[in-house]
Amino acid sequence: MKRRYLYVALGLLISVNVVVLVGVAHNRRGAPEAVLTLSERELPLAWNFRSKENTGVSLRLNVNHDADHWEWFDEDKLAELGFDTEPYMEVEDKHIRRALPKKAYVVLEYDGVAWQQYRQRQREKIESLALQVAQGKLKAEAAERQKKEKLFQLTVASRLFAIDAGLDPRALRERYSDRGRYIIVAAQVRMQVDWRPKTKDNRRRRHLSGRVQQILVEQLHVPRPLYSDLQDLAEGSRIRPGYTYYNPKSPARVRYQVQVAFGQRLEPWILAIDKVAGDEVEPSNNNGVI
């Protein structure tokens, strides 16, 4: 009896592996859907990189979720993606959080307009610190810490932003044709309540917006021949998925870049990894504002 169960388990394992391999082969068939060279900012080591239980190495697709960037994901976009927003316009916020997410195709822009807008917002925030100190709203020490943190973010934050979403990946590709700047990926998106100002007088108004909850395939397995270049990297200076805080004793820095391809199923795989000799340095003016 035990032997029969063993055979069943073995057969199931083989079947799963066959399905996975067929999917990988289909994804990599023909010319890639997109090919980009990203850095550690966009593909940091996954959280479980040094886990004793995991001998493999993987990178995680790191999308910049800056809160000031999501104006495009409004009520019209929610409706386009199949969300019925009308019943949720007047209900309590907790009921909206229970609304189920939906699958959609999301456009990720690399080092484009969204990144330039992010940089500009950081510049404006840095420039406002001196005025806040002069008005007595902020202590000089706190302003200096915030300035260092914001300048640091411009050297480690991901330059990959979600800029659009739809239900037809082909239509999105026609609209965003540059395959070296725009990636199209499958994702889960959901509805949320947004209280940020949307009026010219800066008054807050409750409205619905969307957000990308998860990229469905966001972890990239590193091929074994490329393991060694990543395993000897110092833990303290790594860029982390999400938000990397400034540590003056051991600041994170960019240490490698990755050539990555996206296939017919819009799933990524790694083509090459190259170490970066030094930090990526952004140009700055005489005031230290990037």
DSSP state of 95: H
Query: Is 258 inside any structural domain?
Result: yes
- List, for residues 236-290, the tens digit of each pLDDT value: 678 888 888 888 888 888 999 999 999 989 999 999 999 887 554 444 333 444 4
**pTM score above 0.75:** yes
Q: What are the strands, taking DSSP E only, across the chain? A: 34-39, 58-60, 102-110, 160-166, 182-194, 207-215, 219-221, 256-262, 268-275
Query: Is 18 inside any structural domain?
Result: no
pLDDT at 277: 72
Query: Is 140 inside any structural domain?
Result: yes
- List, for residues 180-193, the tens digit of each pLDDT value: 999 999 999 998 88
Q: Is the pLDDT of residue 5 over 60?
A: no
Q: What is the mean pLDDT of residues 111-122?
A: 96
Instruction: Give the domain range for residue 59.
Output: 30-275
* Number of compact structural domains in the chain: 1
> CA–CA separation, 144 vs 244, rounded Å?
18
C-alpha dist (Å) from residue 207 to 51, 253, 277: 42, 38, 47
Query: Is 17 inside any structural domain?
Result: no
Query: Is 13 inside any structural domain?
Result: no
- List, for residues 43-87, the tens digit of each pLDDT value: 999 865 555 555 678 999 999 999 888 889 999 999 999 998 877
Query: Is 19 inside any structural domain?
Result: no
C-alpha dist (Å) from residue 136 to 127, 128, 139: 15, 13, 7
Query: Is 22 inside any structural domain?
Result: no
Query: Is 203 inside any structural domain?
Result: yes
> CA–CA separation, 65 vs 116, rounded Å?
15
pLDDT at 94: 60
